[in-house]
Amino acid sequence: MGSLLSLADRFDRFARSVGKGAGWIILPLIFMIVFDVVTRKVDFIRLYFSDFAINYGYSVSTILQDLEWHLHGALLLLTFGFAYLMNAHVRVDIFRENLSRRGQAWFEFWALVVMAIPFLAMMLIYSWRFVALSYSQGEGSESMTGIPWRYVIKGFMVIGFAVVLMAALATLARVSAYLFGTPDQKVAAHRSLSIFAHEDPASRALEEARAETERAAHEALHGSQGGKG
Amino acid sequence: MWELIYDHLYEFIGAYMFLALALMLFTGMPVAFALGGVALIFGLLGIALDVLDFAVFFQVIQRIWGGDGSSGAIQNPILVSIPCFVFMGTMLERSRVAADLLHILTVMLKRVPGGLALSVTVMGTIMAATTGIIGASVVMMTLLALPTMLKQRYNAPLATGTLAASATLGILIPPSIMLVLMANLLAVSVGNLFIGAIIPGLLLSGLYFVFIIVACGLRPSLAPPLPEGAIRLRPSDHRNTLSFIAVSGGLVAIAALGQTAGLASWLNWPLAAFLGIFFAAMAIGRKEGDTLLGGILKGFVPPIFLIVLVLGSIFAGWATPTEAAGVGAFGSLILAAANGTLTGTVLRDVVHRTALTTAMIFFIFVGATAFSTIFRNVYGEDLIIALIEWLELGSWPLLFMLMFAVFILGFFFDWLEITLIILPVFAPVIKALAPDFAPHLGLDAPTSIADRQFVEAQVIYWFAMLVAINLQTSFLTPPFGFALFYMKGVAPSEVKMQEIYKGIIPFVILQVIGLLIVLEFPELALWLPSVMLE
């Protein structure tokens, strides 16, 4: 269980840094749109670009417009996992918020095992086939003058779903540690989980204090031979 | 026996799918997981029953991807506007724009009964025209105005109700990400839907305004007036007023001259003058500080700048909604920089929150696409149409039933789930009934196919607007109104949840009245687009 938790931490760190990094894509996206709008209104730049299209076979405006949705796609696909770890995905909390924290953890456990992980695995497998098909066809832009290598951006689908899957697995490991682990692991898992409803600092501190007492009681009962791994 | 079960499942698998989704949603797992998991399980069930084969999962991926003018999430130039609008809204909430606006409105409305509540409504309306997202704007407006209102001994239900209703106007008044998603799902023009939403949005804010004036006029104890001298402004410096007028006048004159002197192709004169006046206003507003002139310049110029930039460029046909979103996001950066609030920490926080909101929206999009693809392939939509035919309702009772269904769903779900799951199911039904509604919209019954398409498009715009108003209400309806929860999270602790619930009731009634008005007078939604897009 301990090594599982450290693996979860590694997955978590990876998914988080991918998501945080990908978030910055919004800035080039904005600048690119502004650049595209402005240059299309300014005559001499437009003429220069149309010469470019004649000479090299690529249209700057089409490339920019393709690039806009390429960036958009990369941005959203790479942030799915990060958002799950931050508990930013919408939940219908009507009944869940009345459950104990342990009950919520059980719900999350089954949701991950039955629904989320199979679904994400399916998405991963089929998006891989999707990319493979695109690669074998040598797919490019529909407009011929846009960005070629369509399979590159399609590949982000595979990466994106792999990252969410990692976030889901990390959460599964932590939820399991919270449910089945030793008191120590329970505290560690609870600290790194953010799936619970009503997780305000006060109730979290209370919970940690309770776990601490539980651990002390556990040690008093079983002696301090250390965790069972 | 087995054959019977098999036949039953074969026929009603779509119904069970919907039922399973409802159950799974209420377990409180992330909505996208519930949608995707149900899609996978019923996809496999469909394969076991020989309704589907494994190619359907490939189709799911293709539909999530988009392309070929379809409504996917990724290869879809329209939806690029969503991250940009989210960034714009989040950035604006971190700049002081709203605070400055509220300040000057309070000064101007201090003699009117319920002046503070009215200021909040006006601020909500103006800010709504600059942001398209909700969660953060409820938090921001509550933090900004609620403590002051309570200190003035405003009735707490009135104060919280006004704040919640006004802050959620942003989802309806363009630019709004909800309208972008709706246009995408209904395959209609975003610009048209944006323009159509202006009058209904203003109508609702007008209803709030009238309600507050009447309520506070009848019972002054609800909203005690500000004491004399509560807000004291320094007198304006007349030289600054004069120099602002001189600069603006000069710029307008130069622009007019440039435009007529045959230099129009060289520079976009009106735009240049507009930008010049904006920067002059910002500079003079900062120099003036806390005076009437400074307040007006700092309060009104930034939002007007953004509204002109975003809505103006869409209406004038200079930019597509996506480009307008990018330009608006850039404008919000400029505003923050001009206000001196653009620091590294703020930028990092805004980028971070934009990423989370975008991911949240599109992850549900992914799940909903998986769900609706499988649902369609197990003939779930045919099942719904059969159910509606079996009910034998006329077209009007059916429309009322759909509206009522959306309203009730709004008690439990968010606009996002309702839009993405329900709209694709309801829209074809309404489209099929379009000729029945034609006389109500002032159109002749269609005779040719082209005619019919026009009528269908008009009916869909009207229907979209009704759903949009209805969905704004979903933020406000207890027990599960998002706006109310966000508000409770940041309100001072003496405000009880019961008071928030009590305060929202009149505004929910106003929403229903607004909905009925647009239902009765479709011109409110259809007239402006028909004029603007001639």
Mean predicted confidence (pLDDT) in B306-314 = 85
Q: Which of A37-46, A123-132, B227-236 has the highest mean pLDDT?
A: A123-132
Q: Measured on CA atoms in the order A201, A207, A213, A216, is the torsion positive or negative?
A: negative
Measured distance CA(B300)–CA(A112) in Å, rounded: 49
Q: Decide: B127 and B145 in contact? Cβ < 8 Å.
A: no
Q: Which residue would you say has higher pLDDT here, B35 or A201?
A: B35
Residue A43: which pLDDT band, with cuts at 50, 70 and 90? low
Percentages helix, strand, coil for chain B, rounded to the nearest 5?
80, 0, 20
Residue B40 touches chain A, beta carbons under 8 Å: yes
Number of H helices, E strands in chain A: 9, 0
Q: Decide: A131 and A123 in contact? Cβ < 8 Å.
A: no
The pLDDT of residue A224 is 46
The pLDDT of residue A204 is 53
Residue A12 touches chain B, beta carbons under 8 Å: no
The pLDDT of residue B273 is 82
Residue A12: which pLDDT band, with cuts at 50, 70 and 90? very high
This prediction's pTM? 0.88
Check whether A84 has a pLDDT greater than 60: yes
The pLDDT of residue A201 is 46
Measured distance CA(B352)–CA(B340) in Å, rounded: 20
Q: Decide: B301 and B285 in contact? Cβ < 8 Å.
A: yes
Residue B152: which pLDDT band, with cuts at 50, 70 and 90? confident
| Least confident window among A153-157, B123-127, B213-217, B388-392 | B388-392
| CA nearest neighbour of B41 among B378, B413, B415, B472 | B378
The pLDDT of residue B5 is 85
Q: B360, A90: Cβ pair inside 8 Å?
A: yes
Residue A218: which pLDDT band, with cuts at 50, 70 and 90? low
Residue B22 touches chain A, beta carbons under 8 Å: no
Residue B532 tokens read as: 């603007």
| CA nearest neighbour of A30 among B357, B94, B333, B133 | B333
Measured distance CA(B40)–CA(B34) in Å, rounded: 10
Q: Measured on CA atoms in the order A47, A50, A55, A60, is the torsion positive or negative?
A: positive
Q: Which of A26, A120, A128 to mutate to test binding with chain B, by most B CBs within 10 Å of its CB? A: A26
Q: What is the pLDDT of residues B33-92, one digit of tens each?
A: 999 999 999 999 999 888 888 999 999 999 999 876 667 888 888 889 999 999 998 888
Compute, in degrees rounded to 10, the torsion defined by CA atoms B353, B354, B359, B365: 130
Mean predicted confidence (pLDDT) in A65-76 = 92
Mean per-residue pLDDT over chain A, rounded: 83
A143: left (phi over 0), alpha (psi -120 to 50) or beta: alpha
| CA nearest neighbour of B74 among B397, B293, B369 | B369
Smallest CA–CA distance from A32 into chain B, residue: B326
Q: Which residue would you say has higher pLDDT here, A202 or B528?
A: B528
Percentages helix, strand, coil for chain A, rounded to the nearest 5?
80, 0, 20
Residue B183 touches chain A, beta carbons under 8 Å: no
Q: Is B502 exposed, middle or buried (0-12, 13-18, 19+ CB in 10 A)?
A: middle
Mean predicted confidence (pLDDT) in B223-228 = 78
Work out the angle at residue B38's Cα, subtended by the Cα atoms of residues B35 and B41, and round it to the nearest 5 degrees: 150
Q: Which residues of B touch A118 (CB under 8 A)?
A: 37, 40
For residue B266, give the 3-state DSSP assignment. Answer: coil
Measured distance CA(B207)–CA(B22) in Å, rounded: 35
Residue B265: which pLDDT band, with cuts at 50, 70 and 90? low
The pLDDT of residue A223 is 53
Measured distance CA(A208)–CA(A101) in Å, rounded: 12
Q: What is the pLDDT of residues A169-199, one digit of tens each?
A: 999 999 999 999 888 888 888 888 888 876 5
From the list A43, A79, A97, which residue is nearest B355 (CB)?
A79
Beta bridge partners of B30: A91
Check whether B356 has a pLDDT greater than 50: yes
The pLDDT of residue B454 is 87
The pLDDT of residue B279 is 84
Side-chain half-sphere of B212: how many Cα atoms within 13 Å?
33
Phi, psi of B234 (to 5 degrees): -70, 150
From the list B60, B76, B319, which residue is nearest A69 (CB)?
B76
Residue B368 tokens read as: 């909903």
Q: Measured on CA atoms in the order B351, B357, B358, B360, is the torsion positive or negative?
A: positive
The pLDDT of residue A203 is 52
The pLDDT of residue B230 is 66
The pLDDT of residue A226 is 42
For residue A122, give the 3-state DSSP assignment. Answer: helix
| CA nearest neighbour of B471 among B425, B513, B399, B417 | B417
Q: Which of A31, A40, A70, A91 to mutate to test binding with chain B, by most B CBs within 10 Å of its CB? A: A91
The pLDDT of residue B502 is 92
Q: B330, A19: Cβ pair inside 8 Å?
A: no
Q: Which residues of A touch B306 (CB under 8 A)?
A: none
Check whether A97 has a pLDDT greater than 70: yes
Q: Which residue would you say has higher pLDDT here, B323 or B229?
A: B323
Measured distance CA(B514)–CA(B432) in Å, rounded: 26
Measured distance CA(B126)–CA(B277) in Å, rounded: 20
The pLDDT of residue A229 is 34
Q: What are the residues whose beta carbons fall under 8 Å from the beta carbon of B179, sequence distance 6 or more?
A: B132, B172, B190, B193, B194, B197, B464, B468
A144: left (phi over 0), alpha (psi -120 to 50) or beta: left
For helices B344-377 and B2-26, the axis angle rounded to 10 degrees is 160
Q: Which residue would you say has higher pLDDT here, B296 or B34?
A: B34
